[in-house]
Structure 1
Amino acid sequence: MVTLSIRARQKLGKYRIEKRLSEGGFATVYRAFDTIEGVHVALKIPRSLKPSTDTLRDFRREVRLAAKLEHPNILPLKDASVIDDYFVITFPLGERTLADRICRRVSFRAALSLSEQMLEALCYAHQQRIIHCDVKPENMVLFAGDRLRLGDFGIAKFAQKTIRGSGTGTLGYMAPEQAMGKPSQRSDVFSAGLIIYRMLTGEWPEWPYSWPPPAIGKLRARVHPDFIAFLQKAIDADPRRRFRDAEQMRNAFLRLKPRVLVYAERRRRRTA
């Protein structure tokens, strides 16, 4: 296999590479400048110069999925083409990822806003019968005004299809049944619940995901008890006790949101 070797200022067609942004198991993401449109973009390129048939098939699947998905909270596809023997997928360039954002404290209102946007994206995907399978902060790109867009559908599958292989996803964000090769829409629910918990407490629940998880005291100090029960349901180790999909989770979130905000404001005033 010929390894990918791309340097800053290298030209790929109309794109001028500026720097590497991130690297995953199959691809590297670069910041680049579109010399024709005059805008910065993100380029996702397989790490091997001559990718295998399976890798190319996975990338074509991602392109076709991304091309179908039109939603304000899903990262849109700008272009996909072969340039100088590289398979290049082009996306709008965001300001940072959610992973970058949660390295520092997230306000309660900001955490709720980001959570709602994430759930709206997953709800739309599930309505299209797509399981994302890799819901994590690194795959959520933030644009101006903290607009969140979910990307990287590279290992997503149609819900009615058999999932190839086992344990596909990212350890630390993956539901127990997904690690055993049996993902479902409830697995995306689990990952979303972990991320919301992390934004509100600064801590990641860890295997075996028993309740209460770490930093439960921080959660109780900030959040309405009903919202704690909502999170407990989302990250239950038993998928049968979770929300059945992101739509049901989103609807529960929206019902709780007004009382959660009122509760948080009252607590803030009492401690001010």
Structure 2
Amino acid sequence: MPEAQPRPTGYDLQPEQILDGRFLLIEIVSRSGMATIFKAIDQDNGQIVAIKVPYLHFESSPAFYSRFIREGEVGAKLDHPYLLKFIEVPNRSRPYLVMEFLEGETLAERLKRSGTLPEAEALSLASRICEALSYMHEHQVIHRDLKPQNVMLLTDGSIRVLDFGISKTIGRRFTFVGFTPALGTPEFMAPEQVLGKRGDERTDIYSLGTVLYRMLVGSNPFAGESDDVFVAMNARVTGDPEAPRRLNPQISEQAEEIILHAMERDPAKRYPSAAAFKTELDAPLKVALTGRCRRLQRPSRWRRHWKNVVLIGGVLIAIACGFIKLIYMIVHHGP
């Protein structure tokens, strides 16, 4: 009777191996819960690239595979200096993504080290992100998961917006399948995402407003509401964030106005486009002060808003079920 073969793990590829006879794997850059990123040499042209390879047991997950394929498809159709560049590879033997190799750190890492950014630097960075978003929106793509972890600050001074795994094509219906953060990251989600609505380009504008808030204030919006995710998510549906200048008086009135304009709960009251957002970021002294900071509404207690409770509860139940499925897969298929 033949010996049982060991169950393959997600770590089947190692440095010094050659993938598909083309990519020489040099070293492991990082490992997440679902994929490994390698630094590699494209032997066709000598270019240094990054290769993202999912663990074998996730390749059979419809939810993960859908996100992985979407990231590659969206990345391949976009070509902008501030967006991560993908390299198309025909006839791949297994799922993997080939991307430009980046030297630098994420905005999240920078903020962890420095706390906040100088106002001029933060507005300039937000302006460049707006430029990238404007290009995406012109090509009918909404990012939907903009956050400091998905902005790379390169050593040459440039930036890249990363991770198109839950992006959505405008006008195309999106279906939630299994465990995937299809709704975004709670701390940076727009109110319409919390409520499970489809959203549009203005969803990205809200998220960028929260990123700018974090860069200038030093904490995320609604951070003081509760450590409970349920309460914090409901807060952005029923109320507005703390006025930025109350938490950091060094912020200019114009910068505060810009942040609060981008973070209006009603999408119709936000900047109508990333281009309009960028215009004010580039010329803050020309921003009209409308008194938004004096009209902010404190979030209502979630118990008084049973409809929101039901909607948000459904979202959290879906995510919880996904986590249970994920744990089951790890236990039964290896780490």
TM over 0.5, yes or no? yes
Name which one, 1 or 2, has greater alpha-carbon Rg: 2
85, 93, 99: which one pairs with 1:91?
99
28, 51, 56: which one pairs with 1:43?
51
Gaps of 5+ in 2: 1-6, 223-231, 288-335
Larger displacement relative to structure 2 (178-187 or 3-12): 3-12
Larger displacement relative to structure 2 (116-125 or 96-105): 96-105
Mapping of residues 165-180 of structure 1, within 5 Å? 165=176, 168-180=183-195
5, 8, 11: which one pairs with 2:11?
5
Partner of 2:260: 232
Deviations 1:177-205 (CA, angstroms, capped at 9, x unpaired): 11222132221111101111111121111
Give, in whole Å, the separation in 1 of the partners of 2:207 and 2:85.
22
1:196/1:12 Cα in 2 relative to 1: closer, same or farther (>3 Å)? farther
- Deviation (angstroms), 1:149: 1.0
1:97/1:29 Cα in 2 relative to 1: closer, same or farther (>3 Å)? farther
Contact 2:240 2:265 in 1 (8 A): no
1:146/1:86 Cα in 2 relative to 1: closer, same or farther (>3 Å)? same
Mapping of residues 78-157 of structure 1, within 5 Å? 78-80=87-89, 85-94=93-102, 95-105=104-114, 106-157=117-168
Partner of 1:200: 216
Give, in whole Å, the separation in 2 of the partners of 1:29 and 1:140.
19
Deviations 1:157-181 (CA, angstroms, capped at 9, x unpaired): 1111222229521221111211222
1:43/1:88 Cα in 2 relative to 1: closer, same or farther (>3 Å)? same
* Counterpart AA for 1:148: I
Give, in whole Å, the separation in 1 of the partners of 2:241 and 2:215.
16
Where does structure 1 differ by over 6 angstroms across 4 or more consecutive aligned residues? none
Contact 1:163 1:181 in 2 (8 A): no
Contact 1:43 1:88 in 2 (8 A): yes
Mapping of residues 19-38 of structure 1, within 5 Å? 19-23=28-32, 27-34=34-41, 36=43, 37-38=45-46
Deviations 1:21-40 (CA, angstroms, capped at 9, x unpaired): 2526xx42413131625554
1:158/1:35 Cα in 2 relative to 1: closer, same or farther (>3 Å)? closer
- Deviation (angstroms), 1:131: 0.8
Deviations 1:193-232 (CA, angstroms, capped at 9, x unpaired): 1111111121111232444527633543132x12211111
- Deviation (angstroms), 1:104: 2.2
Bigger proportion of residues as strand? 1
1:52/1:211 Cα in 2 relative to 1: closer, same or farther (>3 Å)? closer
265, 280, 305: which one pairs with 1:252?
280
Q: Is 2:81 the counterpart of 1:75?
A: no
Gaps of 5+ in 1: 261-272
Partner of 1:188: 204
* Counterpart AA for 2:76: A
- Deviation (angstroms), 1:233: 1.4
Partner of 1:216: 245
- Deviation (angstroms), 1:153: 1.2
Give, in whole Å, the separation in 1 of the partners of 2:274 and 2:107.
19
* Counterpart AA for 1:147: S
Partner of 1:60: 69
Deviations 1:213-256 (CA, angstroms, capped at 9, x unpaired): 27633543132x12211111111233232223322222232232
Q: With structure 2 as the length reference, what TM-score do the two structures score?
A: 0.67
The DSSP-based 3-state class of the residue aligned with 1:103 is helix
The alignment of Structure 1 onto Structure 2 pairs a total of residues equal to 255
Contact 2:166 2:182 in 1 (8 A): no
* Counterpart AA for 1:32: K
Give, in whole Å, the separation in 2 of the partners of 1:244 and 1:15.
46
Give, in whole Å, the separation in 1 of the partners of 2:28 and 2:37.
6
* Counterpart AA for 2:32: E
Contact 2:53 2:95 in 1 (8 A): yes
1:161/1:18 Cα in 2 relative to 1: closer, same or farther (>3 Å)? same
Q: With structure 1 as the length reference, what TM-score do the two structures score?
A: 0.81
RMSD of Structure 2 on Structure 1 (CA): 2.8
1:12/1:101 Cα in 2 relative to 1: closer, same or farther (>3 Å)? farther
